[in-house]
Amino acid sequence: MLEHPVAVATDDEIEQKVEAVYPELVGKLTGGVASTGETTPGQKKDNPEDPSTGNIIDIDEVIAPIQTMLQADGAELAIISRENGNIHMKLVFSDQVCEECILPRKDLTDMIVAACRNHGLEASGMVLEDPREKN
């Protein structure tokens, strides 16, 4: 959560607020491991098993912390498709959304990809539709 007010804050004030919470946020979303974008051979899989439980890792579980963050500001991620490492999601806003409170599409995409990689999920073709970006 960013310290409020956000909607009336200057760009410099927003940058300071984000810098204050960014390391903790990345740690929480990636399980304490910041992604370098590199993977080891065999690390990426569409449906890997959790080595501690043997259960198949579900993308809904992987993005749950991101969903919680978005829901606090009136948004959520809808999974449109997932096949062969290509993930297509859409950012969906409720009637009570704080659009200014939600990270830009690129940052959200990076978080989703980092979380997937941290859990061994393939996310090489990540697409995130953002209603704030007009076609």
Q: What is the pLDDT of residue 32?
A: 57
At 17 the pLDDT is 81
At residue 123, the pLDDT reads: 83
Write down the domain spans for the chain. Answer: 42-129
125-129 and 75-83 beta bridge pairing? unpaired
* Interacting residues of 132 by C-beta distance below 8 A, sequence separation 6+: 91, 99, 102, 105
pLDDT at res. 90:
95
pLDDT of residue 43: 37
Taking the chain (135 residues) in runs of 10, the rounded mean pLDDT of each run is: 75 83 74 44 44 63 92 93 88 93 93 89 89 83
Return the ∠ at Cα 24 (arms to 69 and 54), rounded to 5°.
Answer: 75
Q: Tell me the whole-structure pTM to 2 decimals.
A: 0.61
The CATH number assigned to the domain with range 42-129 reads 3.30.300.130
pLDDT of 26 reads 73
Q: Note the pLDDT tens digit of each residue in 36-51.
A: 433 333 334 445 554 4
Q: What is the CA angle 84-87-93, rounded to 5?
A: 165
What is the Cα–Cα distance from 87 to 112, expressed in whole angstroms?
10
